[in-house]
Amino acid sequence: MTSRRSRHVALLRAINVGGNNELPMAALREIFDAVGFRDVATYLRSGNVAFTAPAAVARRAPAKVAAEIEARFGYDVPVVTRTLKELSAVHAAHPFADRTDDLKRLHVAFLSAAPAADRAIDPDRSPADRFELRGRDLYLFYPNGVARSKLQNRFIERALGVTSTTRGWRTVGKLLAMAER
């Protein structure tokens, strides 16, 4: 009996940023192929990958891909995944989309797991910014721009106690379109 394959997205944190953790997209696609994923496609140089795999195999993607990157390049790169269905739900439900026409103000922090109930982000940390946590997704609205926010990835990880990687709203839309192909 064969397992049903479905589309997934992997979001890698901190590759090809500021000249650090250089990882060519061809090598990243090769890594995904080598660990058994199919129909691999990348978007931009910042670690956005769509792939096809059975659900049980895809659940192991973060550990398998991170281990392979460590072995080949020596980088400790966290990997967060979402199914196509999950990414579609994220894209359909940004709670702050009605507050701006400037998509650069909207972001999503994709979390490796839902934070423990006793973990939270201080709403006074960055007063102008707004956020809403829904399970493993933290929706962010930066009315003054992401560069001025104090709700950066490292802070989010410390506050919530989980791995996080953030994407802009345009990138979320492009990833969804790529994964749907």
In this prediction, residues 4-32 reach a mean pLDDT of 88
Neighbours of 105 (CB within 10 A): 21
Are both 107 and 173 inside the same structural domain?
yes
Residues 151 and 140: beta-carbon distance below 8 Å: yes
Report which of residues 20 and 43 the model is more confident about.
43
Are both 70 and 102 inside the same structural domain?
no
In this prediction, residues 112-126 reach a mean pLDDT of 96
Number of structural domains found in the chain: 2
Enclosing domain of residue 138: 92-180
Neighbours of 21 (CB within 10 A): 18
Are both 33 and 18 inside the same structural domain?
yes
Residue where a domain terminates, one of 53, 86, 119: 86
Q: How many CA atoms lie within 13 A of 85 on its CB side?
A: 2
Are both 11 and 80 inside the same structural domain?
yes
pTM of the model: 0.93
Are both 74 and 96 inside the same structural domain?
no
Q: Give the residue carrying structure tokens 């000249």.
A: 19
Would you say residue 1 has pLDDT above 50?
no
Are both 77 and 104 inside the same structural domain?
no
Residue where a domain terminates, one of 86, 121, 154: 86
Would you say residue 121 has pLDDT above 80?
yes
Are both 106 and 82 inside the same structural domain?
no
C-alpha 64 chain-centroid distance: 16
Residue where a domain terminates, one of 37, 52, 86: 86
Are both 147 and 70 inside the same structural domain?
no
- Residue 3: which pLDDT band, with cuts at 50, 70 and 90? low
> How far is Cα 14 from Cα 93, in angstroms, rounded to an integer?
26
- Judged by average pLDDT, the poorest of 9-23, 103-117, 126-140, 142-156 is 9-23
Encode pLDDT of 55-107 as tens digits.
888 989 999 999 999 999 999 999 999 999 999 999 999 999 999 999 999 99
Q: What is the 3-state secondary structure of the chain? A: CCCCEEEEEEEECCCCECCECCCCHHHHHHHHHHCCCEEEEEECCCCEEEEEEEHHHHCCHHHHHHHHHHHHHCCCCCEEEEEHHHHHHHHHCCCCHHHCCCHHHEEEEEECCCCCCCCCCCCCCCCCCEEEEECCEEEEECCCCHHHCCCCHHHHHHHHCCCEEEEEHHHHHHHHHHHHC
pLDDT reported for residue 15:
85
Residue 41's domain is classified under what CATH number? Answer: 3.30.70.1280
